[in-house]
Amino acid sequence: LMAGEPAHPMFAAAVERSEPARLPGAVLHDLGAYPAAVTGMGDVYGEVHWLDGAAFDAIIARLDAYEGEEYHRIRCPVWLDGGAPVDAWVYLADPVAMAVYPIIADGRWPGVRRARSA
């Protein structure tokens, strides 16, 4: 759902603010066309997006439908680049189902995507 990724336009017009963030206690898997985060021993790096309150419920419903039953949306603490923790909604996949996919060791998806397109 990061800026520049295919799903971002689904909610970009309602983004009031975005900041880089780190999700501790998670691991990122490479599914080829997109990543999947699961609980685990590591950190996943991404973005936190603050949405227009009036559009929030509709956007969350749209994103839940997009992510499907493969992912579960949970509220958990993430750390902003400046070090401040904030609660955020995060989509996590089933770690058992994702175990067949390679782990992205540094927890950063954009680098994997850029390397493939180079």
pTM, two decimal places = 0.88
Domain span holding position 88: 8-99
Q: How many domains does the chain have?
A: 1
1 pLDDT band, cuts 50/70/90, is confident
Inside any domain, residue 22: yes
The answer to whether position 64 is within a domain reads yes
Give the CATH number, domain containing residue 70: 3.10.490.10
DSSP 8-63: GGGTGGGEEEEEEEEEEEEEEEE-SSSEEEEEEEEEEEEEEEEE-TTTHHHHHHHH
How many other C-beta atoms can be found within 10 angstroms of the C-beta atom of residue 114? 10
CB 101 within 8 A of CB 20: no
Give pLDDT tens digits for 91-118.
999 999 999 999 999 999 976 555 556 5
Asked if residue 83 is part of any domain, the answer here is: yes
106 falls within a domain: no
Q: Is there a domain that residue 52 lies in?
A: yes
3-58: pLDDT as tens digits? 888 888 888 999 999 999 999 999 999 999 899 999 999 999 999 999 999 999 99
In a domain, 15, yes or no: yes
Residue 39 within a domain: yes
**Of 118, 97, 115, residue with least CA distance to 29:** 97
Residue at 61 is within a domain? yes
